[in-house]
């Protein structure tokens, strides 16, 4: 938790329609698709422990940070 509090956060707008399209195309929760779209749109790295989400991010050409 100590390191988590050091992560700078900012609020971003995400296209819900695109996130829902990702959710539909990959059969994942909209919540997960929202974060994938946020990473894609902002050219930001995607961090997850979920192997299937890592694979989807890579298919979407989203940079993934391996944890």
Residue 67 pLDDT: 75
Residue 42 pLDDT: 94
Contact 28, 22 (CB under 8 A): yes
Residues 59, 3, 38, CA angle at the centre, nearest 5°? Answer: 30
Residue 30 pLDDT: 96
Contact 36, 50 (CB under 8 A): no
Q: How far is CA 30 from the centre of its chain?
A: 11
Residue 34 pLDDT: 96
Going by C-alpha positions, the residue among 37, 43, 33 that lies closest to residue 13 is 37
* Mean residue pLDDT across the chain: 93
Residue 61 pLDDT: 96
Q: How far is CA 27 from the centre of its chain?
A: 15
Quick: pLDDT tens for 17-48: 999 999 999 999 999 999 999 999 999 999 99
């Amino acid at each position: 938790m100590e390191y988590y509090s050091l992560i700078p956060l900012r609020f971003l707008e995400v296209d819900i329609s695109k996130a829902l399209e990702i959710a539909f195309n990959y059969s994942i929760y909209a919540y997960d698709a929202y974060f994938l779209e946020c990473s894609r749109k902002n050219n930001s790295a995607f961090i997850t422990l979920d192997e299937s989400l890592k694979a989807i991010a890579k298919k979407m050409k989203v940079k993934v940070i391996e944890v």
